[in-house]
Structure 1
Amino acid sequence: MVELGKAYALRYTKGSGSIFGINKVIVAPNFKDCSIFMVYDEGKLGFAQIGNEKLTLINDQISDYDDLIVYKGQPFVINKLGQIFRINSSLELVPFSPPIGFGCRKNLIECCGELYVVDRYLDQQDKKSQEPLHNASFNFFLRHPLLRRGRRIYDADRPKAVDFKVYKLGDEELGGRWVEVKSLGDQAFFVSVDCCFSVLATELEGCKGNCIYFTDSNDIGFASRELLRSDGSVFSLEDRSINWLSSSPVYSQMFWPLPA
């Protein structure tokens, strides 16, 4: 068994379901009392410590964050324009890179010690919930009316990926600059809501290099499971094609048997 990545989610105290409305959770490095950061309500950035009943909303004027990552022992967040910020111990956002612009949804991935952005282009604009989670608290998440609806109904009309571009951040000490990556070589990227990671394809049976494995789901409760099942998809940077994971038995070998 080889550990490829580690993901976190907030779950109910009773039952196994993930709390709806939370898009990404990371454990804050170098913060005390089991602190976490999260992107929730499709773009807000929150912070909480164990024992807190309410989230601390970071930069309450902005609600356009896409992803979080721990990079070189520090928490980083990226917004929808592709600008990365480092979150310091005072919960301030320190600019770390210039914006990229372009695509609809961005994910952060560390590969071989360098920071990459996967920029996803969708067939339609991302749709936000019609019932935003204002003044969020953990108790609020538990009783929010969206939880009583079928999540599949909410997720059924989700936008579909039609293209991807990959960028690498260089010259970090000088404020960073983005370089488009045309090929990943033998590396493969796995992109899900709760966790993004890279692998050396030759070390993972059934995996093909220069590809992005992804799911269109934007809900933690389904994303990882879909990436491991027939709903997962594969994007090839070589010919820019998108295929279902289930369409190739070779790709599916790496996910079987399914993990407990």
Structure 2
Amino acid sequence: MVSFKGRFYVVDKSGRGRVFVIEPSLEVSEIHSVTQAHECYWEALVVSGDDEVLLVQRFSPGEDHDEHVRTWFRIFRLEEENQRRWVRVSDLVERVVFLGVNWNFCYLAKEVPGVKGNCVMFIQPNTILDRILVFDLGTRNTTQASTVCRGMGMGMLGENKESNSFCNASS
């Protein structure tokens, strides 16, 4: 659930792109779904600055969803003109979306030292050590953060992780 422009937006976690809007009057409505062909593994709402709500869908093949190398994302932005609808985003430009276990946010890459724009950084939970991974929307490849970050204090993305364990500060 996120709060945006005086309303609450709630994703139902079914994997079918269903998002509900709770108006200040407590009236509830649904924004038309975005997933038609297949279910996604995970969905999140992310507020980007003061002007956008993003719906992020994660797709992971396999039954256990741990095939992180083949994980990919679809991102939609909420268009509010006329009738609310989701519009596919193919390029975040200089923004980066961070997806955690219980939190999500979006920043301009230049505001976070060492981070590349047009990416989704996410945690692969339930591994020996939770891994921080990066999906590049331009190349559509998923890699470990240590191969793409350049000195960022990656400890902020996991609990009690040292930044050097995820990102080689000398890169």
Global fold match (TM > 0.5): yes
Deviations 1:73-115 (A, max 9, x none): 43221122212112357876x2241001143321111113111
Deviations 1:116-145 (A, max 9, x none): 1111111135xxxxxxxxxxxxxxxxxxxx
- 1:246 corresponds to which of 146, 162, 165: 146
Q: What is the aligned partner in structure 1 of residue 59 from structure 2?
A: 121
What's the secondary structure of 1:120's corresponding residue? Answer: strand
| Between structures 1 and 2, the one with greater strand share | 2
Distance 1:249 1:198 in 2: 16
| Between structures 1 and 2, the one with greater helix share | 1
Answering whether residue 96 of structure 2 is matched by residue 163 of structure 1, we say: no
- From the CA coordinates, give the structure whose radius of gyration is larger: 1
Tell me the amino acid that sits aligned with residue 143 of structure 2: N
Unaligned runs of 5+ in 1: 1-67, 126-156
Name which structure has the greater RCO, CA cutoff 8 Å, separation 6+: 1
Answering whether residue 31 of structure 2 is matched by residue 97 of structure 1, we say: yes
What percentage of residue pairs aligned between the two structures are identical? 28
Distance 2:62 2:43 in 1: 15
Distance 1:160 1:95 in 2: 35
Answering whether residue 118 of structure 2 is matched by residue 180 of structure 1, we say: no
TM-score scaled by length of structure 2: 0.74
Conserved 8 A contact 2:18-2:30: yes
Q: Which moved more, 1:82-91 or 1:69-78?
A: 82-91
Regions of 4+ moved over 3 Å: 87-92, 157-161, 256-260
What's the secondary structure of 1:232's corresponding residue? Answer: strand
Give the length in aligned residue pairs: 150
Conserved 8 A contact 2:135-2:143: yes
- 2:48 corresponds to which of 94, 111, 114: 111
Distance 1:99 1:107 in 2: 14
Tell me the amino acid that sits aligned with residue 234 of structure 1: V
The within-5 A match list for 1:26-105 is 68-79=1-12, 80-87=15-22, 94-101=28-35, 102=38, 103-105=40-42
Q: Report the Cα offset of residue 158 of structure 1.
A: 4.9
Tell me the amino acid that sits aligned with residue 133 of structure 2: S
Conserved 8 A contact 1:83-1:95: no
Tell me the amino acid that sits aligned with residue 124 of structure 1: G
What's the secondary structure of 1:207's corresponding residue? Answer: coil
Conserved 8 A contact 2:41-2:65: no
Question: In 2 relative to 1, CA 217–180 (structure 1 residues): closer, same or farther, beyond 3 Å?
Answer: same
Conserved 8 A contact 2:6-2:24: no
Q: What is the aligned partner in structure 1 of residue 163 from structure 2?
A: none
Q: Which moved more, 1:189-198 or 1:240-249?
A: 240-249
Unaligned runs of 5+ in 2: 161-171
Distance 1:109 1:256 in 2: 21
The within-5 A match list for 1:197-216 is 197-216=105-124
Q: Report the Cα offset of residue 256 of structure 1.
A: 5.0
Computed over aligned residues only, the root mean square deviation of the Cα atoms, in angstroms, reads 2.9
Question: In 2 relative to 1, CA 212–247 (structure 1 residues): closer, same or farther, beyond 3 Å?
Answer: same
TM-score scaled by length of structure 1: 0.50
Question: In 2 relative to 1, CA 211–249 (structure 1 residues): closer, same or farther, beyond 3 Å?
Answer: closer
The within-5 A match list for 1:5-24 is none
